[in-house]
Amino acid sequence: MKKIIIAGLVATFSLISSPSFSQEVPSNIEWTIPFGVGGGTDVWARFISPHLSKQLDTPTTFIIKNVPGGGSITGTNLFYQRARENGSNIIGISASTIFPLMLGDSRVRYSFDKWTPLMASPTGGVVYIQPEFNVTSAEDLHKIQDVVLPFAAQGPTQLELPVLIALDMLGLNVRAVFGMTSRGEGRLAFERGESKIDFQTTSAYINSVAGLVNDGKAIPLFSLGILDESGKTIRDPAFPDIPTFEEFYTLSKGEEPSGLQYEAYNKFMTAGFALQKAILIPSKAPESVKTKLLEALTKMVEDPDFKNDAMEQIGPYENILGELAGAHLEQAIAMTPELHSWVKDWLKSKYNVTIE
Strand blocks (E) in 56-154: 61-66, 89-94, 115-121, 125-129, 148-153
Which CATH code for domain 11-122+275-339? 3.40.190.150
Stated pTM of the model: 0.84
Residues of the chain with pLDDT under 50: 1-20
Residue 198, beta-bridge partner list? 128
Which residues, at least 6 apart from 242, have a Cβ–Cβ distance to it below 8 Å?
126, 220, 222, 223, 235, 236
> What would the pLDDT profile of 188-244 be if each residue is shown by its tens digit?
999 999 999 999 988 889 889 999 999 999 999 999 998 887 778 999 999 999 999
pLDDT given for residue 198 in this prediction? 96
pLDDT of residue 21: 53
Q: What is the pLDDT of residue 22?
A: 62
- Superfamily of domain 125-270 in CATH is Periplasmic binding protein-like II (3.40.190.10)
H/E segment holding residue 225: none
Helices (H), the chain: 40-55, 73-82, 95-103, 161-169, 183-191, 202-204, 210-214, 245-253, 259-269, 287-302, 304-313, 322-333, 337-351
In the chain, which segments carry CATH 3.40.190.150?
11-122+275-339
CA terminus-to-terminus distance, the chain: 15
Encoded amino acid at 96, one letter: S
Sequence ranges of the chain with CATH classification 3.40.190.10? 125-270
